[in-house]
A and B are shown apart, each in its own frame.
Chain A
């Protein structure tokens, strides 16, 4: 029998996930709308004073982005689990860690990337100076990536569990706290006019760690959930 190659199988799965996501458009847009709304709450609750907002902007952008990405995390495997596609993927003979990696990457493209793209808008509304915008984008690109690859483990573990979404946040949030520390610190340093190189590099290291180990843990968690 003809066996599909690794890259070909990955490309097929990636394209399929994107196509499905764009057919259910609201799943892509809702986290972004949530992101915009949550960040609107802070000026209303704290103060519209730009100097004051600038001081807390890094934290607000990062916490809001993490929570918005967390909202979408639940759907990474949910529909595939329910209609049996996931079972077919496990049985497909392709290495499961590779399929997990591709699915997490596809999930990042439809849930993390839109947040990254809208983040300069949010940052500007919180009086983040233009010079710090690149740091916002870079740190969030890495941060949402970490959340997708690490969160995939949690999403796999909570498949078929009652009230899985609350549980998922309980499991994943403590694991992403280091990313939050460095991401918010990088943005804060950029706002202050310092070089955000140090925390950004650490964030990149964490991204590589979650990219390289996360898929194996995700594969294990999917196998547990499929039994």
Chain B
């Protein structure tokens, strides 16, 4: 197990493995997202209260779930990187940050597009919106810290400390903004019976598609990072020449 782990972490090995796995993530992601979009935008029945507007949900919810999923991935990777001094784990955290920030931004943007017809306003200071916004700030702080430290190893470890402090704070932030009365509807996704099956499966397909998309882009970014860090290595020249 451990030898496998260390072997995976060696740059040449990882570069090859990642190159092989990207299509296995990328194509199913595309298929699932297209399927989910078709299911959500065309097949799913109209909501009797919200009309067609509820279909934004099919993009909004996967984005919101991904925004938190990516942050926890980032924090776990940062922890592994700090404890076992594994460069690859730091690279995973670094490559995840812009993706997570983008998921968060998309969740906020689609939420506000949905809010305008439903609540009559683009933005309300409701608990979930606010904690999502603070999550975006945490991502931006992480990216800002990384980009302002020149030495890559120091940047890795400094940003890892920040990611861990952030992840301890996330529940505190979440529960403190729940203090306000919430306009946001409760979670319907994992509440059995709240949604009919023909409304639900496209959302699940979209979520799975988003996860695979994250995996594909993450690996692509990691490969780019390996190339950047190992730009003078002999194995890379051979690999690229093939």
Q: Which of A202, A213, A221 contacts B158 (CB 8 A)?
A: A221
Question: Which residue of B138, B141, B161, B172 has the most chain A CB atoms within 10 A of its CB atom?
Answer: B161
Q: Are A170 and B141 in contact (CB under 8 A)?
A: yes
**Contact mask for chain A residues 165-187; partner B; CB cutoff 8 A; 1 contact, 0 none:** 00100110111011001100100
Residue A119 CB within 8 A of the other chain: no
Given known A-B contacts A170-B144, A175-B166, A177-B134, A224 and B154 have beta carbons under 8 A apart: yes
In the complex, A225 Cα to B165 Cα: how many Å?
16
Q: Is the CB of B148 within 8 A of A161?
A: yes
- Shortest B92–chain A CB gap in Å is 18
- Which of A164, A174, A217 is in CB contact (< 8 Å) with B137? A174
Complex: A225 Cα to B157 Cα, angstroms = 9
Q: Tally chain B residues at the interface, Cβ within 8 Å.
A: 26
Q: Which of these, B145, B154, B164, B173, contacts A178 with CB under 8 Å?
A: B173
Supposing A170-B141, A174-B137, A177-B134 touch, asked if A224 and B172 sit within 8 A by C-beta, the answer is no
CB nearest to B177 among chain A residues = A181
Bound CA span A181–B161, Å? 25
A72: Cβ under 8 A from any B Cβ = no
| Complex-state Cα separation, A163 to B144, whole angstroms | 11
Contact B162 A181 (CB under 8 A): no
Given contacts A178-B176, A185-B179, contact A225 B145 (CB under 8 A): no
* Residues of chain A at interface, number, CB under 8 A: 30
Minimum Cβ distance to chain B for residue A175 (Å):
5
Judge if A162 is at the interface, Cβ distance under 8 Å: yes
A224 near B158 (CB under 8 angstroms)? yes
Q: Evaluate contact between A178 and B161: CB separation under 8 angstroms.
A: no
In the complex the two chains form, what is the Cα distance from A186 to B223 in whole Å? 50
Q: Could you give, for residues 147-191 of chain B, a 1 whenever the CB lies within 8 Å of some chain A CB and a 0 otherwise?
A: 011000110011001101110110011001101000000000000
Known: A157-B162, A175-B169. A182 touches B154 (CB 8 A): no
If the complex has contacts A178-B173, A181-B177, A182-B176, are A162 and B161 also in contact, measured as CB distance less than 8 A? no
Report if A206 contacts B (CB, 8 A): yes
Complex interface: chain A residues within 8 A of B140 (CB): 170
Residues on B with C-beta less than 8 A from A202 are: 176
CB distance from A164 to the nearest CB of B (A): 8
A173 surroundings in chain B (CB, below 8 A): 137
A211 within 8 A of B: no
A153 in contact (CB, < 8 A): yes
Contacts of A100 in B (CB 8 A): none
Residues of A within 8 A of B165 (CB): 150, 153, 175, 217
Is there contact, CB below 8 Å, between A162 and B148? Answer: yes
Rank and list the top 8 A-B pairs by shortest CB-CB distance, nearest first. Answer: A178-B176, A174-B137, A224-B157, A171-B141, A170-B141, A224-B158, A157-B158, A181-B176
Question: Assuming A170-B144, A174-B138, what are 10 further A-B pairs, CB within 8 angstroms?
Answer: A150-B165, A161-B148, A161-B149, A170-B140, A171-B162, A174-B134, A175-B138, A181-B176, A213-B168, A221-B158
Question: 15 A-B Cβ contacts within 8 A?
Answer: A161-B148, A163-B148, A167-B144, A167-B148, A170-B140, A171-B162, A174-B141, A174-B166, A175-B138, A175-B169, A177-B173, A202-B176, A209-B172, A217-B161, A224-B157
